Amino acid sequence: MKRLISLSLTVIMCLSLGMTAATAAESGRTQIGTISASLTANSALMDAVFIERKSCSDDSAESSLTLDVSPDKSAIDVALTINNTHYKATLPGQANEVAVNGLVGYIGVYEGFFINSAEKTSIDSVSVAEGIPVIVDVTFTDKEVFAALTIGYATEKTIPEIIFFGNLSDELGAISTEYTTKTLAAQEAKAMDEMVFPSNEGKSVDGETKLQANTTIKLGNYMAGALSLFHGDELRNQGSMPVYVKVNTNSISVENYVRYGLGYGSSTVTAYPGTFDLSVGGNHNSLHILTNAYLPQNASTSVTIPIPYYLPQIGFGTVGYHLTTSSTSASLSKYSPSSQHHNKVSWSMYRISGWSPSTFDGDYTTGTGMTGEATYTYSGHVTSDVPRTMTATGKINYRYACMVFDQLVTFNLPTGTMTRSSSVIIKP
């Protein structure tokens, strides 16, 4: 398998050098406006691609899809019909322009929830509180559309339903292959530029930051990610301490899940992280973040952050990682309406090319992973030791590339949300 990946990356580099992509502005072409399409499920393509298992239910094989992409490509309206039962959603997302050999198209990904229907079909079994989870991966030009719907979450016990709509024509296949090859080439190039180097960790009141909590998540029988939370055992009232939340990937394991769990078989080329969502919060009004004392900051697309690790025989340490993103969202929130400070920070980091698995695969013992850091304080009246809790969350959106006949296609696969809580003693 390693030889296959190495060969694939060599081909990728050659293709990226031999093919030229231009934006519409550079070439003088008019960008594609609103796209509308009515599509039917492509059962023949699904049967050919999903080698390891039955691709979809009988309901899904008879389904149809209509979609409308907004002019700025930031949202898509979708309507899915299964057995005369209708599901609708407006999904946020984005699309990247791709040009190859004079042909201009887009690769888009949109994620959200279908509204629950009164009548039940095969997909209603994956309903959650918000509705029915769905990701739409769509490749389109001004004349053609190919879409893949991933319905439901991939979990340890459930497999999402994947339905292909429309035809992956030679033109759409060329756009998809161009996008995938350039994405993987850019990912490898950026990984070489992002250096990891030692740095000093912050000190808590007991003089030692520690691993306080960790958990993992699986897709089927395959490990897909890990979440860890680091901070001191104690925090003095009006004092401060650094808190780290870290999410690690397990890309080789997810690649195997795509191959055997989702059923793509030997057509699977690679899997890698594309988006990370993580958060940390103090579960009390007085346990809050110092003003602007968190990393990465909102809208920061280039920052050096400390990646924490903990080894029992050595202790706590960090390594510095120069993180570059296509977009970074950092939002602050309060534990309750009565809180006078921000108690929680949530991050979402996305990069068009994704990230090299070697930088993020691992666990709490490795100097790898996506990290958020915040400095916490306690502002309250304390006369004796008081226990308080903190909660961290993490989620990974993986991308995986597969050969669909002789074309490379990229799809998206999110994990569920990992959650872990810890305790800190507030001292007078």
How far apart, in whole angstroms, are the C-alpha atoms of residue 234 and residue 237?
10
DSSP states along 296-353: SPTT--EEEEEEEEEETTTEEEEEEEEEE-SEEEEEEE-SSTT-SS--EEEEEEE-TT
- In this predicted structure, the answer to whether residue 8 has a pLDDT above a threshold of 60 is no
Q: What's the average model confidence in pLDDT over 292-306?
A: 96
Q: Are residues 161 and 251 in the same domain?
A: no
Q: Are residues 342 and 219 in the same domain?
A: yes
- In this predicted structure, the answer to whether residue 150 has a pLDDT above a threshold of 90 is yes
DSSP 255: H
Q: Is residue 99 part of a domain?
A: yes
Q: Are residues 200 and 159 in the same domain?
A: no
Residue-wise pLDDT tens digits, 69-118:
999 999 999 999 987 888 999 999 999 999 999 999 999 999 999 976 55
- Beta-bridge partners for 169: none
Residue-wise pLDDT tens digits, 104-113:
999 999 999 9
The per-residue pLDDT for 51 is 75
Q: What's the average model confidence in pLDDT over 132-146?
A: 95
- In this predicted structure, the answer to whether residue 256 has a pLDDT above a threshold of 50 is yes
Q: Which of 167, 201, 224 is the last residue of a domain?
A: 167
Q: Are residues 75 and 216 in the same domain?
A: no
Q: Are residues 317 and 230 in the same domain?
A: yes
- In this predicted structure, the answer to whether residue 30 has a pLDDT above a threshold of 70 is no
Q: Are residues 226 and 115 in the same domain?
A: no
The per-residue pLDDT for 313 is 84
Question: What would you measure as the largest C-alpha separation in the chain, in angstroms?
Answer: 73
Contacts (Cβ under 8 Å, ≥6 apart) of 97: 23, 24, 31, 104, 105, 106
Q: What's the average model confidence in pLDDT over 403-420?
A: 95
Q: Which residue has the tokens 């304080």?
A: 377
Q: Is residue 270 part of a domain?
A: yes
The per-residue pLDDT for 35 is 86
Q: Is residue 16 part of a domain?
A: no
Residue-wise pLDDT tens digits, 208-242:
899 999 999 999 999 999 999 999 999 999 999 99
Higher per-residue pLDDT: 189 or 12: 189
Q: Which of 167, 183, 218 is the last residue of a domain?
A: 167
pLDDT band for position 27 (cuts 50, 70, 90): very low
- In this predicted structure, the answer to whether residue 32 has a pLDDT above a threshold of 60 is no
Higher per-residue pLDDT: 385 or 21: 385
How many beta carbons lie within 10 A of that of residue 337, not counting itself? Answer: 6
The per-residue pLDDT for 273 is 97
Tokens matching residue 27:
């070439």
Structural domain containing residue 100: 31-167
DSSP 61: H
Q: Is residue 172 part of a domain?
A: no
Q: Is residue 22 part of a domain?
A: no
Q: What's the average model confidence in pLDDT over 6-19?
A: 31
How many beta carbons lie within 10 A of that of residue 236, not counting itself? Answer: 18
Q: What's the average model confidence in pLDDT over 134-157?
A: 95
Q: Which of 167, 201, 225 is the last residue of a domain?
A: 167
pLDDT band for position 53 (cuts 50, 70, 90): low
- In this predicted structure, the answer to whether residue 136 has a pLDDT above a threshold of 90 is yes
The per-residue pLDDT for 193 is 67
Task: Choose among 63, 84, 136: nearest CA to 106.
Answer: 136
Q: How many domains does the chain have?
A: 2
Q: Are residues 161 and 199 in the same domain?
A: no
- In this predicted structure, the answer to whether residue 17 has a pLDDT above a threshold of 90 is no
How far apart, in whole angstroms, are the C-alpha atoms of residue 255 and residue 176?
19
pTM of the entire predicted model: 0.87
Give the domain CATH number at 384. Answer: 2.60.40.680
Give the least confident one: 24-28, 123-127, 129-133: 24-28
Buried-exposed string 73-92: b where 16+ CB fall within 10 A, e elsewhere? bebbebebbbeebebebebe
Q: What's the average model confidence in pLDDT over 247-251?
A: 98
Q: Is residue 278 part of a domain?
A: yes
**For all residues of the chain together, what is the average pLDDT?**
86
Q: Are residues 249 and 389 in the same domain?
A: yes
Q: Are residues 202 and 308 in the same domain?
A: yes
pLDDT band for position 162 (cuts 50, 70, 90): very high
Q: What's the average model confidence in pLDDT over 50-60?
A: 61
Q: Are residues 280 and 356 in the same domain?
A: yes
The per-residue pLDDT for 62 is 73
Higher per-residue pLDDT: 199 or 276: 276
Tokens matching residue 414:
């999110």
Asked if 51 contacts 74 with a C-beta cutoff of 8 angstroms, the reply is no
Q: Is residue 162 part of a domain?
A: yes
The per-residue pLDDT for 353 is 92
How far apart, in whole angstroms, are the C-alpha atoms of residue 194 and residue 234?
34
Q: Is residue 409 part of a domain?
A: yes
Q: Are residues 159 and 256 in the same domain?
A: no
Q: What's the average model confidence in pLDDT over 235-250?
A: 97
Buried-exposed string 23-41: b where 16+ CB fall within 10 A, e elsewhere? eeeeeeeeebeebebebeb
Q: Are residues 411 and 268 in the same domain?
A: yes
